[in-house]
Structure 1
Amino acid sequence: MTRIAAPTGEQFHLRHDGAHGAVEATITEVAAALRQLSVDGHALVQGFPRESTPPFGHGIVLAPWPNRVRDGRWVHEGTVLQLDITEVERKNAIHGLLRNTPYRVVEKWDDSVTLGAAVVPQHGWPFHLWTTVQYALTGNGIRVTHTATNIGNHAAPIAFGTHPFLAVGDHPIEELTLTARTVEHVIVDDRLNPEGLEPVTGTRFDLSGGVAVKDAQFDDAWRVEPDGDGIVRSVLSAPDGTETELWQGREWEWLQVFVTRIFPGENGQQTAIAVEPMTAPADALNSGIGVRWLQPGDSWSGSWGICRPA
C-alpha cells in the first residue's frame, strides 16, 4: 500500500510546560504554517486537519511580499516585471512565493523549531533570498521570528506577512469581539488593490473600541499604532472576558483582518477570523511602502506572536 503524504508535508509538534499549563503548537513543513496552538488545552488558533491544505492560507508565511500585487506587475529599475497570477479571479499575484514551498529544518528543540526556505529567481522576481522562520513557545503562547538574507548579487526587496485564524478556546467565533489600535484604513478597489488611506476615527473601520465578529464584513487592511512599549496588540475577546492576543513588533506596521463565513469546520462551514500582521500593505512592490531593500549579504529580522494574556 502506497502512503500518500499530507499536502502540508511533515508536521513539527512543539511543547512547553508553562506557568499556566502545557503550551503546544504544530507547524507544517509546507509554507511553515502554524496549524495548531493551545495553552492548557485552550485553543488560540482555529486548527485544520493534517490531511488538508491550509484553508484560506491559514497560518502560512507570506514572503517576499504579503497581500496582493496588482496584475502581478511591477517596475524595477525601469523594467516591467511580470509575476505569475495566483489570484486568478482578481488577476493579482497574492501572498508571495513560498505558500507551496516545503521548508527545511534548520534547528529543532522540544519547544522551538526554525525552518528555512529559499526564494529563488523566477517569473517577475530576479532575486535570491534565504528566509527563516522560528516558532518558539513561551509561557503563554508563541513568539514567531522571521529573517531574510540577500544571498544574490543585487539589492533585493523584502516584506513579510502571516495569516493566522485566531480562536478563543471553544467559544463560537460569532460571539467574539476584535479590538485593535487602528489609525488609517486602506481604501481598495473592487479587486482589493489599494487606492489610498483614510482616517478611521468615526468610521466602521475604527477597531479601537471593539467590533463584534458577527457584524464584521472585513477583508481590509489598516496602518496600526503601537502601545507605549512599542508593541502593537490586537485582542479577540469572549463574553466571559477570556482573550487571545496577537502582538507585533514595530517592524509590523500593518494589519489585515479577514472574516469568512465558509471556513471548513468539523460540523460544516463556520465563521472564522484571520488577524494578519504585515510589514507592508498590498501592492507594496509598486508603492514601496514598508518594503526593505537588502544589499547583497544583508539581513532583516522581525517578530510577532500570539498569547493568552494572564
Structure 2
Amino acid sequence: MSGTEHSIAFGSYSAIVTARGGALRELQYQGRHLVVTFGPDGGIPDYRGVICAPWPNRLADGTYSYGDRSFRADINEPERGTALHGLLTGADWDVLEHSTDAITLAGNVQASAAYPSGLEVCVTYRLSDDGLHSMVRTRNTGTQTAPYGLCPHPYLVAGTSPLDHWTMELPAREFLAVSADRLLPEGIHPVEGHEFDFRTPRPLGTIKIDHAFTGIIRGEHGLAAVRVLDPAGTGVELEWDGTWPWVQVHTADKPSGKDRLGLAVEPMTCPPDAFNSGTDLVHLAPGESHEAGWTIRALS
C-alpha cells in the first residue's frame, strides 16, 4: 500500500481511499466489489470515485459570471468544450484523520481566475455494519461569496453479470435532456412514458443513460436511493438525503475499450452548468459551511 492511498475496514466491509481526488478507489463487502475499482498507480480513469467540487458535471466553455466578475476554468473535456467536475479531481488531498474504520481528507481550492474564493473541502469516509457513510463538509475560507456545487462519482457494481442484465430502481419523476454533441442542458422532462422511467424496478437492458434526474421521490426521513440488483441475487444501493435535489446516472458507455463496467450514480447539489443557469446553486459566504452525505451499502 503506497502512501497515497489508505485502507479502512469494519466487519464485512473494507475500502481503499486515495489522496488523489479524495477518491474512493475500492469498496468491498465480504470480498465482493461494490464499485468499479482502478489501479494504485497512475491516473484515475473516468473520474471513478472522485469528489467533484466546487461544481459537478459540465461547465459550458469553462466560463461563467458571478457578481460583477467573469471567470474562466481550464477545459478538461476538449471534445465537448467543457470544464468537467470542478477543480479538485486531479489534486492530492491531505489526510486529516485516519482510524481503522474511518478517514478524513481535505482538498483546497484557491481564489483564482477560475473561482472567486478559497475553499476547504473535507470528505469523511466511515464504515459500519450498514455500509460506507460519506460526508463532505466545505467551508469558504476566502473573502468573497462563491458559487458552489458538489457530487461524488462512484460507479456501482451489482454483481458479476453484465450491466445489461442488472435491474435498476431510480426514484425520479423528471430528467434533464441534454444536447447530443456536448451533453449540455436543454430542458426538464417527465420520465412518465419515457425509457428513463425506472420508478418501478426493471432490467437496464441496452439502454444508454448519461443524464441528470430530479423530482426525487423520498421516503422516510427524506431519504432516496438508487438500487441495482444482479440476477444472481447480489446488489448495491446508494442512498442520499434532501441536500441533493439531483442525481446523475450513467451507464458507462464507451465507444471502445472497457464498456459498461458499472453504473455511475452521482447525487448532485445542482444540475450540469449550474454556474451559468443558477439552478439550485449554493452561495457560500465567507466563513460559511455546507455539508452533504450519502451511503453505499450491499444488498443481498
Same fold flag (TM > 0.5): yes
Q: Paired residue for 1:16? A: 10
Residue 211 of structure 1 and its aligned partner are, at CA, apart by: 4.5
Gaps of 5+ in 2: none
Deviation track 1:58-93 (CA, whole Å, cap 9, x = no partner) reads 000000000011111111123332221111111111
Gaps of 5+ in 1: none
Q: Paired residue for 2:188? A: 197
Residue 111 of structure 1 and its aligned partner are, at CA, apart by: 0.4
Give the partner amino acid of 2:73. Answer: L
Q: Paired residue for 1:146? A: 136
Matched, 1:251 2:255: no
Residue 213 of structure 1 and its aligned partner are, at CA, apart by: 3.1
Give the partner amino acid of 1:147. Answer: R
Q: Paired residue for 1:69? A: 59
The number of equivalent residue pairs is: 297
Counterpart CA distance in 1 for 2:42 and 2:218 is 35
Matched, 1:269 2:261: no
TM-score normalised by structure 1 residue count:
0.90
Counterpart CA distance in 1 for 2:241 and 2:53 is 17
**Which one of the candidate residues 187, 197, 208 is aligned to 1:217?**
208
**Percent identity for Structure 1 against Structure 2:** 33
Q: Map 1:99-118; keep pairs closer than 5 Å.
A: 99-118=89-108
Runs (4+) of structure 1 exceeding 6 A deviation are: none
Mean Cα deviation higher: 27-36 or 167-176: 167-176
Counterpart CA distance in 2 for 1:275 and 1:263 is 20
Residue 289 of structure 1 and its aligned partner are, at CA, apart by: 1.6
Counterpart CA distance in 2 for 1:29 and 1:129 is 17
**C-alpha contact 1:37 1:141 (8 A) present in aligned 2:** no
Q: Paired residue for 2:16? A: 26
Matched, 1:88 2:78: yes
**Which one of the candidate residues 38, 50, 60 is aligned to 1:60?**
50
Residue 277 of structure 1 and its aligned partner are, at CA, apart by: 1.2
Give the partner amino acid of 2:251. Answer: V
TM-score normalised by structure 2 residue count:
0.93
Counterpart CA distance in 1 for 2:18 and 2:255 is 19
Deviation track 1:169-201 (CA, whole Å, cap 9, x = no partner) reads 433333212211011110112311112111111
Give the partner amino acid of 2:225. Answer: R
**Which one of the candidate residues 272, 276, 280 is aligned to 1:290?**
280
Counterpart CA distance in 1 for 2:40 and 2:163 is 22
Give the partner amino acid of 1:160. Answer: L
Give the partner amino acid of 2:234. Answer: T
**Which one of the candidate residues 279, 289, 292 is aligned to 1:299?**
289
